[in-house]
Amino acid sequence: MTWLKKITLHSGFIALLASAFYADACTRVVYQGSEQMVVTGRTMDFSIDIPANLWVFPRGMQRHGEVGENSISWTSRYGSVVASSWDIASPDGMNEQGLVANMLWLVTSQYPEFEKNGDQPGLTIAAWAQYALDNFATVKEAVDAFAKEEFVVVTDFIPGTDKFTTVHLSLSDATGDSAILEYIDGRLVIHHDRAYQVMTNDPVFEEQLAINNYWRDIPGTTFLPGTNRAADRFVRASYYIQAIPQTNNPQLAVASVFSVIRNVSVPYGISTPDQPHISNTRWRAVADQTNRVYYFENVLTPNVVWVDLNKLDFSASGVVKKLSLDQGQVYAGEANAFFQPAKPFQFQGL
């Protein structure tokens, strides 16, 4: 059977599967270049404006799960640079050890029940990624800790909206290791393998792998699915992250990862009447985990800014700093010098 006939026979099935899930969209890819060059890139796609600022958090910060008295608490072991959402959550960031955390929408997420007076403490979903950045240097450390399920991830509606927060969490580290954490039917499911370089949204990760396995039999240079649905973005990102140059040159590696996530971005202003949750890209982030540089691009400004983590004071005596970008402020190039001391934001909880 030729590849064209395979497409004809199976495209209806794939379209049906993909159309069954409508979610605020995002895409994440991990680049594994030569000589352990590792870069993680992601898009933040959302159906409403999602203002972002960049933050520097030092070690030694006292954190709280923000779900009432029955919350976990911890002290940050590692400093980090994060992109905030509305200054109530950390959906993306990299810590000083090169661990990267990305939260992406997964509409089929179902979290365990949380009892404010129960035996198991809770953590607001707004701080899920931050908890990983604060506490772990590697994916394996994080996976081993999360697998113990010593606390419950607690979610709620995004303030002022009818959007109930349902996300999954991806982790990658400076060795290229990778993990995907999803709550399915109230259970934590962890996919841990350095081969898991791509994550998008619905369907659940296991089903996305199955869809991608089908497309591996079709030459990517001849045909790739082109819609903005999550399953199609997964296939394109999976193909291109392998096709781009495998290099240890930071400039070329970062540019290559940007080219992939721009390819899977959703053009600004795109909306589909019968699929209101397919959303345009709001911002992009690329983390060079080998050289500890975090790049950020807001689609409404023409420039990329970056933060060199090697030049930051992450010591316990360091101060929290903020680079405001949520009002259309324009910066270009290395932005370390433009961060200003700021009071840390409070994570949205119950």
pLDDT at 16 over 70: no
Of 9-13, 70-74, 158-162, 295-299, which gets the smallest average pLDDT?
Answer: 9-13
Q: How confident is the model at residue 271 (pLDDT cuts 50, 70, 90)?
A: low
Rounded distance between C-alpha atoms, residue 112 and residue 186, angstroms? 4
The per-residue DSSP string of 276-309 comes to TT---EEEEEEEETTTTEEEEEETTSS-EEEEEG
Residue range 153-201, pLDDT digits in tens: 999 999 999 889 999 999 999 999 999 999 999 999 999 999 999 998 8
**Is 66 a known active-site residue?**
no
pTM of the predicted protein model = 0.89
- What is the pLDDT at residue 206? 84
Of the residues 14, 18, 23, 26, only one is catalytic, namely 26
Residue with tokens 């998008």: 200
Higher pLDDT, 167 or 229: 167
Q: How confident is the model at residue 229 (pLDDT cuts 50, 70, 90)?
A: confident
Mean per-residue pLDDT over the chain, rounded: 89
Rounded distance between C-alpha atoms, residue 329 and residue 301, angstroms? 8
In this structure, the strands spanning 293-298 and 281-288 are: antiparallel
